[in-house]
Amino acid sequence: MENEVLKTVKGTKDFMPQEQMQRNWIRRTLEAVFETYCCKPLETPMLQHYELLASKYGGGDEILKEVYRLSDQGDRELGLRYDLTVPLTKVVGMNPEMRMPFKRYEIGKVFRDGPVKTGRLREFIQCDVDIVGTTSVLAEAELLSMAFEAFKRLGLDVYIEVNNRKLLSGVLQELGVPVERAGDVMLSLDKLEKIGVDGVRDDLRERNVEEPLVLAITSFLQEGVITLDLLAERFTSQLVQEGIRELRDMLAYVKGAGVGGELRFSPFLARGLGIYTGIVYEIFLQDGSMTSSIGSGGRYDQIIGRLLDDGREYPAVGISFGLDVILAALVNRNTEEQKAADVLVIPLGTEASSLGLANRLRESGIRVELELTGRRLKKALDYANKEGFAFALIYGENEVNSGQVVVRDMREGTEQSVPLELVGKWLSDKLSG
C-alpha cells in the first residue's frame, strides 16, 4: 500500500486498542484516587493566548521555544498549552472569589515541539494534582500519600525521593557558594549519584567554579552519609533549620498517613531551577526497571502570584504523573483491563433475536460482541479464536425455536446447549470464576 498522505505526525502516536485499554485503566485508577482525596476535576482549553504562555513564568525561554504557535480567523495569536499549570493559574486569576484551598486535578494533553526520544512525544498526556492556597506541608504529605495509594492500586512498587529547596540553598550558602553560582552548583550536585564525588569535582571545574569552593564542596561530600540529623547539626542558618523542620513535619505526617511506601531523603535533589521554593519530590520504581522518574512535583509558592501580579499570595504545591511513563512501567504486567473480550454472539439467520440476546447479556455487565458480517460459522469461530473471546454463542433458528443457545468454550473447544433464560447467569459465573 502506497499512500503518501498516511503519515503520523512526528512526535505523535496512534494508541491502538490494546494499549489504549490500559491507558484508560490508568486514567480511571488515578481519577478514582484523586476523587477520594476530594480533588476536583478541571478542564482547561488546549488553545491559549500566546501572550499568556509567554508571560513571566517559571517555564522561561527554554519552554517557549517548544510552543506550537498558531492563529485563528480573528488573527489572535494563540499557542497550544505546554503544561497544565499555566491554564490553572489563569483560572485562579480569573476567579478571585474561589474558595481556598483549591484542590484540582486535570488529566489532559499538552504539546511541546521539542526533541523526540523514546517514550517522549510532542503531544502527551499529563496528570496533575495541585493544591493552591495553603503553606502547610500537610499539603505535600497529602499529595505523597495520594501518590503511594495511586501506585499501589496500579500495582507498581515505588519509592519517593524528597528534599527541600530551602535546605539545599541554605547548605550551599553556608558552604560559601555565592547566590549567582548556586544554580550551577545545584546542577552539578544533582548528578552525584550518577557520577560520584570525582565526577562532581570535574563537573564543578568545567563550570569554572573557583577551586577553594570546589574543595569545600567535595570535602563536605566526603564526610559520609548525609542525613537530616547530620545537616541539622552542621548547618545553623535559619533557612537550613526551616527546611529541615518542614521535611521532618512532612515525614511525620506521611508516616501517620498509614499508606506505607518508602520516602528517601535526597539532599541534592533540586528539580530544575526556576519554579520550586520548598519541598520537592520525585517518584521512582523500586525494581529499577526504569531509571527516569514516573512522577514528580513540589512547592512553588511564587509562580502564580508572579503571573497574576495582583498583590495577593498564592502558595501552591503540585504533583504530576506521566500517563505514558506509567504505561511503559506497566508493560509486561497483567492488569485487569488487559483481559480479552468476553463473548461473541453468532447469529445464523437470527439477527433480531441475536441482538436481543446480546443486549440481555450486556445488561448483566458481560462484554458482548455481535458478529456483524454474516460470515459463515467456521470463519466466525476462527475470528472468536483470534480475538481471544472466552465464549462464542451460536444462535440459529433451531435454538431460537427451542429456547436454547449453543455455548462454545473457546479455550476448551467444547460445546453445550444452555437454556436461554439461564445463559446470562451461566456465563457470569464462568467469567467471574
User: Which 89-118 positions form the footprint of a copy of itself (CB under 8 A)?
Assistant: 90-91, 93-96, 99-101, 103-104, 109, 111, 113
Tally of CA atoms within 13 A in the half-sphere of 44 that contains its CB: 27
Which range, of 34-42, 160-168, 192-200, 274-282, touches a copy of itself by CB under 8 A? 34-42
Residue with cell 499538552: 110
Is position 396 an interface residue for a copy of itself (rule: CB under 8 A)?
Answer: no
Is position 432 an interface residue for a copy of itself (rule: CB under 8 A)?
Answer: no
Which range, of 11-19, 163-171, 218-226, 227-235, touches a copy of itself by CB under 8 A? 11-19
Task: Output the nine-digit C-alpha cell for 144.
Answer: 505523597
Is position 302 an interface residue for a copy of itself (rule: CB under 8 A)?
Answer: no
Exactly one of 128, 142, 190, 282 binds a copy of itself (CB under 8 A); that residue is: 142
Site residues for a copy of itself, 252-291, by CB under 8 A, read 252-259
Which range, of 140-148, 261-269, 292-300, 325-333, touches a copy of itself by CB under 8 A? 140-148
Is position 386 an interface residue for a copy of itself (rule: CB under 8 A)?
Answer: yes
Site residues for a copy of itself, 346-365, by CB under 8 A, read 347, 351-356, 358-360, 362, 365
In the sheet with 158-164, reading across from the earlier edge strand, the strands are 40-41, 102-111, 123-132, 316-322, 295-299, 279-285, 158-164, 262-265
Exactly one of 38, 222, 238, 332 binds a copy of itself (CB under 8 A); that residue is: 38
Peptide bond into 115 cis (omega under 30): no
Torsion of CA 107, 109, 111, 115, to 10 degrees: 80
Is position 78 an interface residue for a copy of itself (rule: CB under 8 A)?
Answer: yes
Exactly one of 122, 166, 201, 299 binds a copy of itself (CB under 8 A); that residue is: 122
Phi/psi at 343 (5° precision): -135, 135
Is position 378 an interface residue for a copy of itself (rule: CB under 8 A)?
Answer: no
Is position 49 an interface residue for a copy of itself (rule: CB under 8 A)?
Answer: yes
Site residues for a copy of itself, 227-246, by CB under 8 A, read none
Q: Which is nearer to a copy of itself, 44 or 241 (CB)?
A: 44
Distance (Å, whole) CA 20 – CA 22: 5
Q: Which is nearer to a copy of itself, 41 or 196 (CB)?
A: 41
92 contacts: CB under 8 Å, gap ≥ 6: 98, 102, 132, 304, 308, 314
Distance (Å, whole) CA 46 – CA 75: 17
Furthest-apart CA pair in the chain: how many Å?
A: 95
Site residues for a copy of itself, 58-77, by CB under 8 A, read 68-70, 72-74, 76
Exactly one of 12, 286, 416, 417 binds a copy of itself (CB under 8 A); that residue is: 12
Exactly one of 47, 195, 230, 331 binds a copy of itself (CB under 8 A); that residue is: 47
In the sheet with 47-49, reading across from the earlier edge strand, the strands are 47-49, 77-80, 69-71
Is position 180 an interface residue for a copy of itself (rule: CB under 8 A)?
Answer: no
Alpha-carbon dihedral sign for residues 189, 191, 196, 201? negative
Distance (Å, whole) CA 326 – CA 333: 11
Is position 338 an interface residue for a copy of itself (rule: CB under 8 A)?
Answer: no
Which range, of 208-216, 267-275, 379-387, 404-412, touches a copy of itself by CB under 8 A? 379-387
Task: Measure CA 394 to chain center.
Answer: 43
Exactly one of 29, 85, 126, 145 binds a copy of itself (CB under 8 A); that residue is: 145
Which range, of 51-59, 164-172, 210-218, 420-428, touches a copy of itself by CB under 8 A? 51-59
Is position 45 an interface residue for a copy of itself (rule: CB under 8 A)?
Answer: yes
**In contact, 102 and 83? CB cutoff 8 Å:** no
Task: Measure CA 2 to chain center.
Answer: 37
**In contact, 346 and 392? CB cutoff 8 Å:** yes
Q: Which is nearer to a copy of itself, 296 or 350 (CB)?
A: 350
232 contacts: CB under 8 Å, gap ≥ 6: 240, 241, 244
Helices 423-432 & 351-363 angle (0-180, nearest 10): 50
**In contact, 379 and 390? CB cutoff 8 Å:** no
**Min dist. Cβ of residue 105 to a copy of itself (A):** 10
Is position 308 an interface residue for a copy of itself (rule: CB under 8 A)?
Answer: yes
Is position 424 an interface residue for a copy of itself (rule: CB under 8 A)?
Answer: no
Q: Which is nearer to a copy of itself, 42 or 192 (CB)?
A: 42
